[in-house]
Amino acid sequence: MNLEASKIRKNLIILGITLSLIPFIYLLFNDEIISDSWYRIANVCGFLGAVFILWQFILGVRGFSKWFTSDYDWVIKIHTFLGINGALFVLLHPILEAIYFKEDIRFIFQPNFSDTFNSFLTLGKFAFILFLFVWLSSSLLRKSMQYRLWLYVHYLSYPMAFFVLIHPLKIGSIIQASAWVFNYWILICLAFVVILVIKILDLLCLTYMRYTLAEIKNYPGDIFTLRFRPQAKNPVYIKPGQYFYIKGGIFSEAHPFSVLEFNDKTGDITFGIKKLGKYSSHLSSAPVEETYYIDGPFGEFTFEGQNSDPKVILAGGIGITPFYELVARFGNKNTYLFYANRNTASALYRDKFKKLLDKNHFDFVNEAPSDEENVFCELISTGKIKQLLKNEKLSNLKFFICGSPIFTKTMISCLIELGVNKKSIFIEEFEY
């Protein structure tokens, strides 16, 4: 999928979200169903919050979203946007309802199964409690939580969505008073069921491709490469800069890794990985010839550089992985690489990059350099970038950055200081 097609599909997703909200926004100004404005606002807030939650759920299922766009980073951003804005409506709904019925805050959390009305009302309370767990873990506590704990808490969004959809069927004033609203809500419930089925297929690896681990190579600095061989006859089409999710089995976690190298003829995929946690450390000692499940490709990083245009690559450590195929396929005399590592020995594929780029390859190391040309014992800085690119007009260049968050932030600051337009700066963001 090219950038233009992806852009069109992204716009279709935005349009779909917007259209799904319009019926409930219309109800906000319609006093024929509920005459009391306060109570009508409380009900509509509930519906809007529910639609936001449903779209979050839909976009969070890779087995669905990948058919619309390979730019999963964009999908995650929209997912986050919906969570932030939908949270306002979700929080307002029970608070406004409690105020309308003249109940205190305890009413929101107290279960009551004494009759049908209170039973369905309690389902809404359960949904709200689960929402608080998910929302807090994904916003306020995300940076302090381990990935596994965050993932397990996030699974609460599935029963939460179920309770949200069932909750108003017997008690919703608007649903009970309007046949078209009721039918629209049933349609939303059916959409949830379809997406839930796709999610189950994801969990069972039925939307994944089977690959065999063919080779492991270890490099200095806790870096290693994994080469996977496809079990299917038709290899997947990959573009430079893309990544895949890898699972060791049905009950294993799926983690994203950038493609370092791929073979169009055999379909072999090589990933460059640094040991940073339990999962990556486990992969470094995985048995060869084992079957792995791989989902992708995802991402559109470096798409703007897949041409003969002048480009500058700024890579920190293992952040080099998205760039090898870009340089091998689209590199030329106007392609420059600024490669930061602890030392030259820990620079993955350094010899290959030097062979491809020759004097346009620059190493930046922490430890004392050798007598080699273009090896600098210093950090990549504004002055150094300006010095090494003195023969190029910066406004004609595209800059691609990948590395740690600190490295990325520093490189962006350097480029902005040099007067580089933000539209000419492209970064790879890793999120869970």
Q: DSSP code of 139?
A: T
- Taking 60 as the threshold, does the pLDDT of residue 432 lie above it? no
Q: What CATH code would you report for 209-298?
A: 2.40.30.10
Read off the pLDDT of residues 173-215 as tens digits, 9 standing for 90 and up: 777 777 888 888 899 899 889 988 998 898 888 889 999 999 9
Fold match between domain 3-203 and domain 303-427: no
| Residue boundaries of the structural domains of the chain | 3-203, 209-298, 303-427
Task: Estimate to the nearest angstrom the gap between the alpha carbon of 215 and the chain centroid.
Answer: 28
Domain 303-427 -> CATH class = alpha beta
| pLDDT for 423 | 92
Mean pLDDT of 269-285: 89
56, 79 contact by CB (below 8 A): yes
What is the CA angle 138-59-15, rounded to 5? 120
Whether residue 297 is preceded by a cis peptide bond, meaning omega within 30 degrees of 0, is yes
Tokens (6 digits) for 161: 């969505």
In which residue are the tokens 């996030």 written? 154
Q: How does the average pLDDT of the chain come out, rounded?
A: 88
Distance CA 169, CA 235 (A): 47
Tell me how far the alpha carbon of residue 196 is from its chain's centroid. 19
pLDDT in tens, 232-249: 887 789 999 999 999 988
SS3 210: strand
pLDDT in tens, 294-314: 999 999 999 999 999 999 999
Give the residue carrying structure tokens 């050798």. 370
Per the document, the length of the chain is 432
Question: pLDDT value at position 1?
Answer: 66
| pLDDT score at 67 | 84
Per DSSP, helices labelled H in 218-349 are 278-284, 324-330
Of 156, 164, 165, the closest CA to residue 190 belongs to: 165
Contact 409, 127 (CB under 8 A): no
Tokens matching residue 54: 């449903």
DSSP state of 394: G
Q: List, for residues 325-362, the tens digit of each pLDDT value.
A: 999 999 999 999 999 999 898 899 999 999 999 999 99
At 361-406, the pLDDT tens digits run 999 998 876 677 889 999 999 999 999 998 889 989 999 999 999 9
| 3-state secondary structure (DSSP) of residue 311 | strand
b/e burial code for range 138-159 (CB count within 10 A of at least 16 → b): beeeeeebeeeebeebbebbbe
Report whether pLDDT(431) > 60.
Answer: no
- pLDDT at res. 367: 81
pLDDT at residue 232, as a whole number: 87
Q: Distance between CA 341 and CA 108 in Å, rounded?
A: 54
Q: Is the pLDDT of residue 421 over 60?
A: yes
Tell me which CATH code domain 3-203 carries. 1.20.120
Q: Which amino acid is at 19?
A: L
Tell me what pLDDT residue 269 has. 96
- Report which secondary-structure segment, H or E, holds 340: strand 335-341
